[in-house]
């Protein structure tokens, strides 16, 4: 018999009055994944790791990985780090026709069904069904009706459960997947343009989503399907763009969060929670936004620590031996601009600044580049060969300095790099546990 899903347990804890949640780490970066797994090993808490549909899909996505490949990557890392695989929760984010939204419904939804099947068959057990986008033959002028969104979502749910039955036939103990729905879904990776403000999901729209899904589940002969749904994606008023962050205001979200009390069997999932303060994150969990999605902030923290160590290298390593990580990264971005060009706007100087420091962190698409990874390896090698003075660590990596002094962090370049990621994870752990 399959065990109870950890996220069902989390929802049950909340029903019992515990203000708990869980961070959801959405990244394929090896340093981010290692940091997340190491923290799970130390805490013995489940770790939720997500792959997005444009990142990992049946055609390889931008990482070149299919769902089974991503799972192998994560489980292989877990094994090498000594992390109990039972602590892993693998999730698929924005699963639906997102990547094929310019195609007609017939073709796009067929590909979406194939997509969700691959995720379930690979062992992903948290599935975000996202059918919120218009497809090629939808009206260009009318809003996409909740009815249409839900019917497409239920179709994908049924494809998932067909695949789960096949998985269970081979392994009776296979974990039953849980589902996230929602018709008001922020785009992956944050806003592309500066915004005037964020519209919080209206309580009536949230209720309409729930009621419509329940009705269509019943119409499709899946009356018990609602038991598999644990969360609805809503917009609680948080978002980020190139240089702006919209912070959570619980007063603005009060009516929305009050409406959740009518549905104790579910929680809210918040997307684009990157860069929220730990106070904001804690308030979100307290208010029912119990699943906190974060992605770009993690690689932003990685980039911060790599830039800081590059400054240390400039002070301590002869010029001819330096890794020049920052230059190599920017060169890679300029050679292949497709992953940032449509996202950054303004003067030449403003765009150059955004390439390095934008909150949307399009740098993350280049960290895995062979030349960029080579520069990282060289940077780590250069700084591993010398004794780094504590005063220069204080200058460029003050948070890591404090942890080294207290004995929490090893005084090595790799440890400091991964702590650039972990400093963001700590905020989520403070909020969720």
Give the predicted TM-score (pTM) of the model.
Answer: 0.96
349 CB contacts (<8 Å, ≥6 apart)? none
Q: What is the pLDDT of residues 375-394, one digit of tens each?
A: 999 999 999 999 999 999 99
Pairing of strands 229-234, 267-270: parallel
pLDDT category at 192 given cuts 50, 70, 90 is: very low
C-beta atoms surrounding 320 within 10 Å: 5
Tell me which residue of 380, 372, 415 sits closest to 397, measured CA to CA: 415
Tokens for 225?
Answer: 């399907």
- 352-368 pLDDT per residue, tens: 999 999 999 999 999 99
Degrees to nearest 5, angle at CA 32 with 70 and 377: 100
First-to-last alpha carbon distance for the chain, in angstroms, is 28
**For 51-109, how does the pLDDT look when each residue is reduced to its tens digit (9 = 90+)?**
999 999 999 999 999 999 999 999 999 999 999 999 999 999 999 999 999 999 999 99
């Amino acid at each position: 018999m399959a065990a109870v899903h950890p996220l069902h347990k989390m929802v049950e804890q909340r029903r019992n009055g515990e203000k708990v949640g869980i961070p959801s780490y959405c990244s394929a970066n090896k340093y981010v994944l290692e940091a997340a797994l190491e923290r799970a090993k130390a805490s013995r808490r489940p770790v939720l790791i997500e792959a997005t549909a444009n990142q990992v899909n049946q055609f390889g996505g931008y990482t070149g990985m299919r769902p089974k490949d991503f799972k192998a990557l994560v489980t292989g890392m877990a094994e090498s780090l000594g992390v109990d695989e039972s602590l892993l929760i693998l999730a698929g984010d924005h699963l639906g026709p997102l990547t094929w939204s310019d195609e007609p419904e017939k073709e796009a939804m067929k590909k979406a069904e194939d997509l969700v099947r691959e995720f379930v068959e690979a062992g992903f057990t948290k599935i975000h069904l996202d059918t919120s986008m218009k497809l090629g033959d939808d009206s260009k002028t009318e809003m996409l009706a909740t009815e249409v969104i839900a019917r497409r979502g239920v179709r994908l749910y049924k494809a998932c459960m067909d695949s789960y039955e096949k998985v269970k036939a081979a392994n009776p103990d296979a974990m039953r997947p849980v589902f996230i729905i929602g018709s008001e879904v922020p785009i992956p990776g944050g806003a592309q343009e500066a915004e005037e403000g964020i519209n919080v999901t209206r309580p009536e729209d949230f209720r309409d989503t729930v009621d419509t899904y329940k009705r269509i589940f019943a119409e499709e002969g899946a009356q018990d399907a609602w038991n598999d749904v644990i969360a609805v994606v809503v917009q609680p008023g948080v978002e980020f763009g190139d240089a702006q962050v919209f912070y959570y205001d619980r007063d603005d979200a009060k009516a929305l969060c009050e409406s959740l009390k009518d549905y104790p069997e579910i929680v809210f999932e918040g997307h684009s929670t990157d860069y929220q303060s730990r106070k904001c994150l804690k308030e979100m969990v307290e208010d029912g936004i119990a699943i906190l999605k974060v992605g770009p902030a993690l690689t932003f923290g990685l980039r911060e620590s790599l830039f800081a160590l590059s400054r240390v290298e400039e002070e301590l390593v002869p010029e001819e031996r330096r890794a020049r990580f920052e230059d190599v990264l920017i060169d890679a971005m300029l050679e292949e601009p497709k992953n940032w060009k449509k996202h950054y706007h303004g003067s030449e100087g403003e765009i150059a600044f955004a390439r390095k420091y934008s909150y949307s962190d399009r740098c993350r698409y280049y960290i895995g580049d062979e030349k960029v990874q080579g520069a990282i390896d060289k940077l780590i090698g250069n700084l591993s060969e010398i004794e780094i003075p504590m005063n220069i660590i204080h200058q460029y990596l003050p948070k890591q300095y404090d942890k080294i002094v207290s004995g929490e962090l090893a005084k090595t370049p790799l440890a400091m790099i991964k702590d650039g990621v972990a400093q963001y994870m700590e905020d989520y752990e403070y909020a969720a546990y």
